[in-house]
């Protein structure tokens, strides 16, 4: 349903995204990984039209995305940005209500459906108790959940999440994954998340895009695509993807100071074949 076709983005004379192409189907659950500055965030920002693509097109249901009306675009693709500022003197409720902006009619306030949606997402992301608090005075993790709630209230067909786990504690990281997967399944939505946690990318996503220097260097199911070799090539870090003996989950064990050749002998020790994705539903 979403097609990115040969997109290149030029920021201040530097080609940050180079000739990127991929397609996203409904209910696709994609993670993008790659080193800092490899163009992940820029690609997402380009997909919502925040920065123009120098070359290439983005098509949504076969239509040129940049030609659609702004509110239509907002209902189709929504971004959880890293570059956000906190407005002063704003309650959590008012902040999340901004997510309903694309559904507002000219000169009309929020209707009953909008308020129901807002209350539902506040509940889902475990911030209903913060409803009347001022956003400025929340902790980083609480604020992140408020921003996620805003995106959920916006309710786009494709959710773009730029490092959604920033500042979240362990419990809320998994709560987010759970909310994301239920929302996706229930309303058949696609999502693309920029991730830094390799283990999470391996276990909880159906598809992985690996980026390096503005290009996509690998695309496919995480456990097929991600190899020790690729990780070393892309991140320059030695390590080994192993299957945890008790749970059979794939884990990346990092050993940055050793040579990779050391691990090849012990390969036979792995007893599980292939990991199983944890079902969060």
Rounded distance, CA 36 to CA 39, Å?
Answer: 8
Q: Which two tokens stand for residue 184?
A: 């996706």
Should residue 91 be labelled a site residue for another protein when binding is judged by CB under 8 A?
A: yes
Q: In this structure, are strands 190-194 and 158-162 parallel, antiparallel, or unpaired?
A: parallel
Nearer to another protein, 77 or 210 (CB): 77
Query: Residue 164 Cβ, how far from another protein at the closest point, in Å?
Result: 14
Should residue 99 be labelled a site residue for another protein when binding is judged by CB under 8 A?
A: yes
Query: Residue 87 Cβ, how far from another protein at the closest point, in Å?
Result: 4
Q: How far is CA 176 from CA 20, 24, 25, 266, in A?
A: 28, 21, 21, 36
Should residue 42 be labelled a site residue for another protein when binding is judged by CB under 8 A?
A: no
CB atoms within 10 A of CB 253: 12
Rounded distance, CA 49 to CA 2, Å?
Answer: 14
> Which listed residue (8, 10, 90, 243) binds another protein by CB under 8 A?
90
CB atoms within 10 A of CB 65: 21
Nearer to another protein, 8 or 90 (CB): 90
Report residue 127 CA to chain centroid gap.
Answer: 20
Should residue 170 be labelled a site residue for another protein when binding is judged by CB under 8 A?
A: no
Should residue 255 be labelled a site residue for another protein when binding is judged by CB under 8 A?
A: no
Nearer to another protein, 86 or 280 (CB): 86
Question: What's the DSSP call for residue 172?
Answer: H
Phi, psi of 103 (to 5 degrees): -95, -5
Should residue 239 be labelled a site residue for another protein when binding is judged by CB under 8 A?
A: no
Should residue 137 be labelled a site residue for another protein when binding is judged by CB under 8 A?
A: no
Nearer to another protein, 57 or 104 (CB): 104
Rounded distance, CA 267 to CA 240, Å?
Answer: 10
Should residue 39 be labelled a site residue for another protein when binding is judged by CB under 8 A?
A: no
Should residue 145 be labelled a site residue for another protein when binding is judged by CB under 8 A?
A: no
Nearer to another protein, 49 or 212 (CB): 49
Report residue 112 CA to chain centroid gap.
Answer: 29
Rounded distance, CA 98 to CA 201, Å?
Answer: 30
Should residue 105 be labelled a site residue for another protein when binding is judged by CB under 8 A?
A: no
Rounded distance, CA 146 to CA 125, Å?
Answer: 8
Q: Which two tokens stand for residue 219?
A: 């695309």
Should residue 36 be labelled a site residue for another protein when binding is judged by CB under 8 A?
A: no
Should residue 178 be labelled a site residue for another protein when binding is judged by CB under 8 A?
A: no
Count, residues near another protein per rule CB under 8 A: 44
Which residues of the chain form contacts with another protein (CB under 8 A)? 45, 48-50, 70-75, 77-79, 81, 83-91, 93-95, 98-99, 101-102, 104, 107, 109, 123, 126, 128-129, 131-132, 147, 150-151, 154, 160
């Amino acid at each position: 349903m979403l097609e990115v076709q040969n997109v290149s983005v030029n920021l201040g004379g530097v080609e940050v995204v180079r000739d990127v192409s991929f397609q996203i189907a409904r209910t696709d659950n994609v993670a993008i990984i790659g080193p800092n500055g490899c163009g992940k965030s820029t690609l997402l920002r380009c997909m919502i039209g925040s920065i123009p693509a120098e070359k290439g097109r983005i098509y949504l249901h076969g239509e040129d995305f940049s030609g659609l009306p702004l509110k239509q675009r907002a209902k189709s693709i929504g971004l959880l940005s890293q570059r956000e500022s906190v407005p002063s003197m704003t309650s959590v409720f008012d902040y999340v209500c901004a997510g309903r902006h694309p559904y507002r009619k000219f000169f009309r306030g929020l209707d009953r459906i909008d308020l129901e949606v807002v209350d539902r997402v506040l509940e889902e992301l475990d911030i209903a108790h913060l409803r009347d608090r001022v956003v400025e005075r929340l902790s980083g993790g609480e604020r992140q959940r408020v921003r996620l709630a805003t995106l959920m209230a916006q309710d786009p067909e494709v959710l773009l999440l730029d490092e959604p786990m920033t500042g979240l504690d362990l419990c809320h990281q998994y709560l987010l994954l759970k909310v994301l997967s239920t929302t996706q399944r229930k309303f058949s939505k696609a999502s693309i998340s920029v991730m830094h946690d390799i283990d999470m990318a391996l276990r909880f996503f159906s598809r992985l895009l690996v980026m390096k220097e503005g290009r996509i260097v690998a695309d496919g199911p995480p456990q097929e695509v991600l190899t020790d070799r690729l990780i070393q090539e892309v991140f320059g870090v030695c390590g080994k993807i192993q299957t945890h003996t008790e749970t059979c989950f794939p884990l990346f064990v990092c050993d940055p100071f050793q040579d990779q050749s050391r691990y090849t002998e012990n390969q036979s020790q792995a007893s599980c074949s292939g990991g199983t994705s944890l079902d969060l539903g």
